[in-house]
Amino acid sequence: MKPQTAISILVSAIFVLAAASADAQGRQGKGGASAPQRAQVERGQRDYDRDRMRDRDRASDAAHDRKRDRDQDRTHAPDDVQNGNSGIYGDELMNAQERKQYREQLRLKESDPKARSQFMKQHQEKMQKRAKEKGAKLPDPPADDSSD
């Protein structure tokens, strides 16, 4: 009976070791994620980071767009544009092309107050002359405020 007991103990020991080994592998698999699980977590993190970057870019783009629009309005519109009036002295005597050229010349001269003032004075004289030729009456030209 002794050899049979020894064999039984040996077989039992093998089963116990196999079970312990399987249990250890199972715990290792649960504690550390498998390769597909890690890849899924990494994709999720990349998606999250990408979405955060897009949100940040959208917010800064909107602020940039507002600033650009404000600057364009300030640069391309005459200061005294109100209620559809162009703010150009003698505009009723000018055609659309002349008004466009006037605005472009004024925009080009905005960095040089003296040149701008001189251009506006020449324009006023030209409009007064045109008004006399057509028998129209223009209001007095605005006072020159370039004495800053």
121 lies in a domain?
yes
77 lies in a domain?
no
pLDDT score for 145: 55
pLDDT score for 14: 92
**Is residue 72 a contact partner of residue 107, using CB atoms and an 8 Å limit?**
no
**Is residue 148 a contact partner of residue 113, using CB atoms and an 8 Å limit?**
yes
3-state secondary structure of 113: helix
Q: How confident is the model at residue 75 (pLDDT cuts 50, 70, 90)?
A: low
- Residue 59's Cβ-side half-sphere holds a number of Cα atoms within 13 Å equal to 6
pLDDT score for 33: 63
**Is residue 80 a contact partner of residue 87, using CB atoms and an 8 Å limit?**
yes
pLDDT in tens, 104-127: 998 888 888 899 999 999 999 999
Tell me the whole-structure pTM to 2 decimals. 0.41
What proportion of the chain, given as a percentage, has pLDDT over 70? Answer: 80
84 lies in a domain?
no
What proportion of the chain, given as a percentage, has pLDDT over 90? Answer: 17
119 lies in a domain?
yes
Q: What is the mean pLDDT of residues 4-29?
A: 81
122 lies in a domain?
yes
How many domains are there within the chain? 1
Can you read off the two tokens belonging to residue 72? 């364009």
- Name every residue whose Cβ is closer than 8 Å to that of residue 136 and which is 6 or more positions away in sequence: 92, 93, 130
76 lies in a domain?
no
More confident residue, 2 or 77: 2
97 lies in a domain?
yes
98: domain range?
Answer: 89-134
Q: What is the mean pLDDT of residues 73-102?
A: 72
Does 142 have pLDDT greater than 90? no
Radius of gyration of the chain from its Cα atoms, rounded to whole angstroms: 42
Give the span between the Cα atoms of 92 and 105, in whole angstroms: 18
pLDDT in tens, 18-53: 888 877 776 655 555 678 888 888 898 999 999 888
Does 77 have pLDDT greater than 50? yes
pLDDT score for 27: 62
29 lies in a domain?
no
